[in-house]
Amino acid sequence: MLTTRVCEIIVQGTLPTTGSGSKNIANVFHYVAGTGGAIGSAVDLANNFLTNVWALIAAQLSVDYTGVATITRFLDDATVQYVNANVPASGAIALPRLPTEVSIVCPLRASERGKHYRGSKHFAGVPTASVVKDELTAGAAAAWAASVTALGNALTPGGGYTVAMFPCVLSRSLSQTRVNPTSLWAATIASVLLNKTIGTMRKRKERTVR
C-alpha cells in the first residue's frame, strides 16, 4: 500500500576473505510508523533496532563478522542524508566459519500478497558449528528463533516517538525515492520464517583466486 514515514536502516559489516582482502556485508531493514502519533529521529529508531534486534542476530554469527557502521534515514524526503547511528555488534561464535556467500536465510511474509511484497534477509558469517551438512543444527535453529521473533516485532523507540514502528517490506519496483515528492509502497511483515537449509548470496562470494 502507499504509505509514509518509512525508515531505512543499513547495517554495515565486513568478513575477511581467505586472502588479504575482505567482503563488505550490508543488511537493509525497513520500518513504517503506525497510524497517528509522532515519530522521532531515525537515529533513535536505529539504535533501538541495534539493541533489540541486531544484537540477537550478531550473537549467532561468526567472530569473523565485524560490525562497522549503521546508517539510517527516513525515506519520505529524497533530500535527507543518511546519518550514523551506533556501531553494530560483531559476531560472537568461534571460528571456523563457512564461505562468505553462505547465508542464514529468513523469508519474510508480508501483510499484502504479490511479487512486489516478497522479501528475505540473508545473514553472512555462518559458523561451521551451526551447520551439519546442508542444514542448521537443531541447537542453532533454536538459537535463531529469538532473532526471527525479533525481526517481526514492532519497535517502540521512545524519545520523540509516540507511535510504534513496524517492520515492513518496501517495494523497490513500486516506490520512488530519488526525487521529491517520493512515493513509498510498503507492506508490514506478518511473519518471519527461518530456513533450516543454508542459502547463498552470490555477490558476497570471494573473487576467484589462482
Could you read off the pLDDT of 23-39 as tens digits, one per residue? 999 999 999 999 989 99
pLDDT of residue 208: 79
Decide: pTM greater than 0.85: yes
Residue 75 falls inside a structural domain? yes
Give Cα 89 distance to the centre of its chain.
13
Q: What is the mean pLDDT of residues 156-170?
A: 96
Does residue 108 surpass a pLDDT of 80? yes
Three-class DSSP category at 191: strand
Residue 210 falls inside a structural domain? no
Give pLDDT tens digits for 172-181.
999 999 999 9
CB 49 within 8 A of CB 161: no
Does residue 210 surpass a pLDDT of 90? no
Q: What is the mean pLDDT of residues 48-63?
A: 98
pLDDT of residue 165: 98
Total number of domains constituting the chain: 1
Does residue 126 surpass a pLDDT of 90? yes
18 lies in which domain range? Answer: 2-204
Residue 183 Cα distances to 76, 128, 149, angstroms: 8, 42, 29
pLDDT of residue 209: 76
Residue 192 falls inside a structural domain? yes
Does residue 19 surpass a pLDDT of 80? no
Q: What is the mean pLDDT of residues 181-197?
A: 97
pLDDT exceeding 90 applies to what percent of the chain? 91
Partner residues linked to 110 by β-bridges: 189
